[in-house]
Amino acid sequence: NDPAITPAVTAVADDIAEMEIRGAAAIADAAAAAIGEQAQASEADTPEEFRAEIRAAARRLHETRPTAVSLPNALRYVLQGMEGNTVAELRDSIVATVVEFRRELDQAQDNLGQIGANRLRDGDTIMTHCHSTDALSCVRHALNDGKDISAIVKETRPRKQGHITARQLRDWDVPVTLIVDNAARRYLNDADHVLVGADSIAADGSVINKIGTSGLAVNARERGVPIMVAAQTLKLHPGTMTGHTVEIEMRDEREVLPDAEREAVGDVRVENPAFDVTPPRYVDAIVTERGQFPPESIVTLMRELFGDQQNGEPWDE
Ligand code: RUB
């Protein structure tokens, strides 16, 4: 018998896969909450059965999208907090760990926002790509500190997450100029910072973020505009310390070429990578809740946080 996964877990997994829930921090938060729901709804009779259900739920959530390491990091955190000898004890430990995880995530985002805000001066213009809650936390803190900030917001094809960023910034009364991605180089002349988030940070300081980030960073460097990456330590990818590369998600071609436009274009191959890798030499600072780092020194923080790599994942059977 396969362990029972609750409909709540399946629904969250589908929402992550379909990008109803998206962005590395939101994905981590939702996945942790879903494990909590699994624990609460479980009808397992034995501790073994309960553990098997939690592992199955974690696997189901894990297999949704491959690039944001915040997802496995969140699942690892929650499953490692599972302890006890009875179903009730196991359940309580999971529920308490989920609450703690979600609180820490919010706190980390808030702390990094304060640190990142210090890089922004009154009157600065930022250029954004995609929608990152860690990056926006830096803007929110700068605004709270009384600074005037303006934004040039890249649309971010094909899913146009730039619209979410634009809406959020407008709600904070930030003047926003929305541009197509191809206009970025032209408008870099008007920008004081490029400010983006990350889905994963590798041990060599490479930044894995929404497709187009690397081209933006190269152009920004050429124009002399500093590139700031806002990424709480949940985005640090432990596997890269032992030489693993980060898998880049390839998404459905219909995001690029919808069925209605397909006939006019004809029989062409469409590729739709969701993320790319920005080499560390194009990044000026990685802002975390533990301080800001030049990308080349992020490995020191990773060693401190992750220590020696353990074998296997807590959701493996
Ligand atoms: C989202 C994206 C964001 C990071 C960071 O991609 O690339 O920049 O996830 O976001 P997608 P946050 O829309 O494909 O999920 O700072 O909110 O974690």
Domains identified in the chain and CATH numbers: 7-111 (1.20.120.420), 118-306 (3.40.50.10470)
Residue 34, pLDDT score: 98
Known active-site residue 138: no
C-alpha span between 212 and 248 (Å, rounded): 13
- Mean pLDDT score of the chain: 97
pLDDT of residue 281: 98
Per residue in 28-38, pLDDT (tens digit) is 999 999 999 99
Query: What confidence tens digit (pLDDT) does each residue in 217-227 have?
Result: 999 999 999 99
Cα(50) to ligand 1 centroid in Å equals 32
Mutate to test the pocket of ligand 1, among 199, 200, 236, 283 (most ligand atoms within 8 A of CB): 199
Q: Is ligand 1 within 6 A of the CB of residue 25?
A: yes
* pLDDT higher than 70, residue 90: yes
Q: pLDDT band for position 311 (50/70/90)?
A: confident
Ligand 1 neighbourhood includes 24 CB (under 6 angstroms): yes
- Model pLDDT for residues 101-148, shown as the tens digit of each residue: 999 999 999 999 999 999 999 999 999 999 999 999 999 999 999 999
Å from CA of 237 to ligand 1 middle: 15
The best mutation among 130, 155, 165 to test binding of ligand 1, ranked by most ligand atoms within 8 Å of the C-beta, falls on 130
* 150-154 sheet: strands from edge to edge: 176-179, 150-154, 125-128, 193-196, 227-230, 285-288, 291-293
At residue 317 the predicted structure's pLDDT band, cuts being 50, 70 and 90, is confident
Ligand 1 centroid to Cα of residue 52, in Å, is 30
Q: Which of 29, 134, 199, 284 is catalytic?
A: 199
Please tell me if the CB atom of residue 234 comes closer than 6 angstroms to any atom of ligand 1: no
- Output the CA 264–ligand 1 centroid distance in Å: 32
Choosing from 124, 130, 134, 138, which is the catalytic residue?
A: 130
Tens-place pLDDT, residues 52-88: 999 999 999 999 999 999 999 999 999 999 999 999 9
Provide the pLDDT for residue 312: 86
Map tokens 């592992």 to a residue. Answer: 55
Q: What is the pLDDT at residue 240?
A: 96
Q: What is the DSSP letter of 81?
A: T
The reported pLDDT for the residue numbered 309 is: 62
Q: How far is the CA of 43 from the centre of ligand 1 (A)?
A: 35
**Number of the ligand 1 atom closest to the C-alpha atom of 209:** 7
CA separation for the pair 60, 54 (Å, rounded): 10
What integer is the mean pLDDT of 271-292? 98
Which of 64, 110, 210, 236 is the best mutation target for the ligand 1 pocket, counting ligand atoms within 8 Å of the beta carbon and taking the most?
210
| Joined tokens for residue 194 | 């490029």
pLDDT at residue number 315: 95
Buried b (16+ CB within 10 A) or exposed e, 116-151: bbebbeeebbbbbbbbbbbbbbbbbbbbeeeeebbb
pLDDT, tens digit, 9 for 90 and up, residues 190-219 = 999 999 999 999 999 999 999 999 999 999
